[in-house]
């Protein structure tokens, strides 16, 4: 059973305690400014729980964070052991805030930060994270698939309980199967595995 994600709040900053695969804990610091991702929203908590579980059980080196907001999930993935992070968002102000948070936590050297959409990202990744609204997830689902390695993983949140079947069915059509889900109040996070081969 996964441990609870621990948050401590300061006037403009959140300190998030991550449970590392080694069993140790590490704190990351987030100042979201205008962007989403201070840490107190259920979708962020669910994504962090899912990330902790994934990094504990799998070898994940490359991560794409779509709609990165404050950079909290990029930073969490880096702290948990990812070697290469790509963070993308469509808003220039948000990208600057994400860059500031990523630098503050010491992960700028392994992070590529892109102003744009998922279509502007090259390459494929072990893990693709998208904590955005369901309509956006469905709209870019095929682009998300193109950026997940064969046998790789997509982590989706920003989804309400009554919307999860839409996401599961859409990604099932794209060759994914549901590996795990996390719930808090009316929100869910879905961990889906790519069952297709690169040649397909």
pLDDT-based confidence at residue 62 (cuts at 50, 70, 90): very high
Q: For residue 31, what pLDDT is reported?
A: 86
| Whether the predicted pLDDT of 8 surpasses 50 | no
**3-state DSSP helix/strand/coil % of the chain, to nearest 5:** 35, 35, 30
pLDDT-based confidence at residue 32 (cuts at 50, 70, 90): low
Output the average pLDDT for the chain.
Answer: 90
| Whether the predicted pLDDT of 106 surpasses 90 | yes
For residues 45 and 100, what is the distance between their CA atoms, to the nearest angstrom?
Answer: 21
| Whether the predicted pLDDT of 35 surpasses 60 | no
| Whether the predicted pLDDT of 34 surpasses 60 | no
CA distances from 79 to 11, 120, 145 (A): 23, 25, 25
Mean of pLDDT values over 178-182: 96
pTM of the model: 0.90
pLDDT-based confidence at residue 196 (cuts at 50, 70, 90): confident
Mean of pLDDT values over 2-28: 75
| Whether the predicted pLDDT of 154 surpasses 90 | yes
**180/6: higher pLDDT:** 180
Q: Which two tokens stand for residue 111?
A: 């992070």
In the chain the domains, ranked by start, together with CATH numbers, are: 6-194 (3.40.50.150)
| Whether the predicted pLDDT of 19 surpasses 70 | yes
For residues 140 and 68, what is the distance between their CA atoms, to the nearest angstrom?
Answer: 15
| Whether the predicted pLDDT of 39 surpasses 80 | no
| Whether the predicted pLDDT of 107 surpasses 70 | yes
Burial level of 23, CB count in 10 A (0-12/13-18/19+)?
exposed
């Amino acid at each position: 059973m996964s441990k609870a994600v621990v948050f401590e709040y300061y006037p403009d900053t959140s300190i998030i305690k991550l449970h590392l695969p080694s069993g140790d804990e590490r704190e990351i610091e987030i100042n979201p400014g205008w962007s989403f991702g201070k840490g107190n929203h259920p979708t962020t908590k669910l994504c962090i729980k899912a990330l902790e579980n994934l990094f504990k059980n799998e070898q994940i080196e490359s991560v794409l964070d779509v709609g990165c907001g404050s950079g909290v999930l990029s930073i969490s993935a880096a702290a948990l052991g990812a070697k290469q992070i790509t963070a993308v968002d469509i808003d220039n102000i948000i990208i600057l805030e994400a860059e500031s948070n990523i630098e503050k936590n010491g992960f700028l050297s392994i992070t590529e930060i892109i102003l744009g959409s998922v279509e502007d990202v090259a390459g494929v990744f072990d893990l693709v994270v998208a904590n955005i609204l369901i309509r956006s997830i469905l709209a870019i689902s095929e682009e998300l698939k193109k950026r997940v390695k064969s046998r790789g993983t997509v982590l989706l949140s920003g989804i309400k309980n009554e919307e999860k079947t839409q996401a599961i069915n859409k990604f099932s059509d794209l060759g994914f199967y549901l590996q795990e889900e996390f719930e808090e109040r009316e929100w869910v996070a879905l961990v889906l595995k790519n069952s297709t081969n690169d040649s397909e």
